Structure 1
Amino acid sequence: MSEIVDIDHLRLGDRPLVVCDVDDVVLEFLSPFEGFLGSLGHRLVPRSYRLHGNILSTLDDRPLADDNVTQLIQDFFAAQEAWQRPFGDAVQALSRLAAEADVVFLTAMPPRYTHMRRRLLDSLDLTYPLLATESPKGPVLRQIHGTRDLPVAFIDDMAHNHHSVAAAVPECLLVHLMPQSEMHNHAPKPDPMVLSAQNWSDVERFLLAHFTQR
């Protein structure tokens, strides 16, 4: 069951809304995570689009137990400020989009790491409001947007998040953006109604066109 996310700090204006994922959309995740694993004597083998089962010890090439992988992901979130950097031209593109729309970050991670992520984003001039939750993103986006008669767009790298938003906010423009990597080649493809962006230039073009359709 979806939780009610605290959005009391959000102040939306009378203009379009952009709700944007963070990991591997605004900040690099997979590449720095691989570096983090290497520093601890582990490596990622991209045999599928999963972290669990695909992280091996460099000592014996045995997969780490699922509990250990979960802990490594949490440890990475705790250390994210030392590892993560902007993804592509996210900083510049979001700055231009913010001149036309309200921008909100909706990141899929345990809320207890919000303060680390907030500091990191702020250090990169990505000062837009941030929500961290492990709930399905569709109901959260509906909670944010409500019944406003204004354009809304969602950017994410995960197909299931787009499907969640499509079900909860059918009027939302959906844009799929993800890195190019061997692991991402295994990623599930989103439904045809989701626009595919190769880079932030594509994202910006899609959203600006959507805003003018009001």
Structure 2
Amino acid sequence: MSDPGDIRLGHRPLIVADIDEVVLEFLTPFAAFLEAREHTLLPRSFRLTGNIIDRRKGDAVSDVATKALLGAFYAEQDRWQTPASEVGETLAGLSGEADIVFLTAMPPSHAAVRRALLDTLGLSYPLLASEEPKGPLVKQLHGGRDLPLVFVDDILRNLRSVREEVPACLLINLMANADFRALAPPPDAGMHIATDWPEAAKVIRDHWSAANSG
């Protein structure tokens, strides 16, 4: 699914969550995938390009090769990716209070494999797969409703994109892999950091409580 207009929401808060490094582990299984192909992922900077080493040659692979490896990984992601810590039970609890939609930055051609994997893991929330900026997609999805909106992502660019389109949105920066999280640029003022889903849920519920009491 790649059209926000296809998703029907109830009259309650909305939580939009990224997938890679947020709902599913990405960097740890991707590193294992690379190791099986005689490559190594080094946590030297907050990016993939330049950090994937071909062990047979001893140097970093090109941007083109990086994209090819990423595409190969996504094609068989169901063999490698696992849920982020406590995501299933946390989202199950939040789903009693809010609608949940997954927004993943990946080619829609890989969406069917991702959908099947999420369903197998019991994460059967609506899925949008798009390589477009996330801000306009979240704005279209929310539709200007006077209801709380939450966006959870590991990438600062995406958080800024949503803030630009929907300034009232609660923004949470969450990243599963601790090694690369330490290399990430700090979030902007007003963005909340959560180290895991239970902490994110507390930030969300505290925000809702403050909004209701106000």
* TM tier relative to shorter chain: over 0.9
Q: Which runs of 4+ in 1 moved over 6 A?
A: none
How many residues were matched structurally? 210
Amino acid at match of 1:7: P
Report the secondary structure of 2:40's partner residue: strand
Aligned to 2:30: 33
- Residues 130-188 of structure 1: per-residue CA shift (max 9 Å, x gap): 00011111111001001100001001111111111111000100111112433332211
Aligned to 2:92: 95
Report the TM-score when normalising by structure 1.
0.95
Aligned to 1:21: 18
- Residues 5-35 of structure 1: per-residue CA shift (max 9 Å, x gap): 5123201000000000010110000000000
Q: Give matches, 1:118-129, under 5 Å.
A: 118-129=115-126
CA apart distance, 1:57: 0.9
Equivalent in 201, 204, 207 of residue 201 of structure 2: 204
Aligned to 1:144: 141
- What RMSD in Å do the two structures reach over aligned CA positions? 1.1
Q: Say whether 1:171 aligns with 2:171.
A: no
CA apart distance, 1:40: 0.6
Aligned to 1:82: 79
Report the TM-score when normalising by structure 2.
0.95
- Residues 68-113 of structure 1: per-residue CA shift (max 9 Å, x gap): 1101001111110000000000011000000000000000111111
**Structure 1: 5+ residue stretches without partners:** none
Report the secondary structure of 1:182's partner residue: helix
Aligned to 2:150: 153
**Structure 2: 5+ residue stretches without partners:** none
CA distance in 1, matches of 2:61, 2:175: 26
Aligned to 2:159: 162
CA distance in 1, matches of 2:175, 2:17: 12
Aligned to 2:51: 54
Equivalent in 61, 65, 80 of residue 62 of structure 2: 65
Maintained 8 Å contact 1:160/1:190: no
Maintained 8 Å contact 1:16/1:101: yes
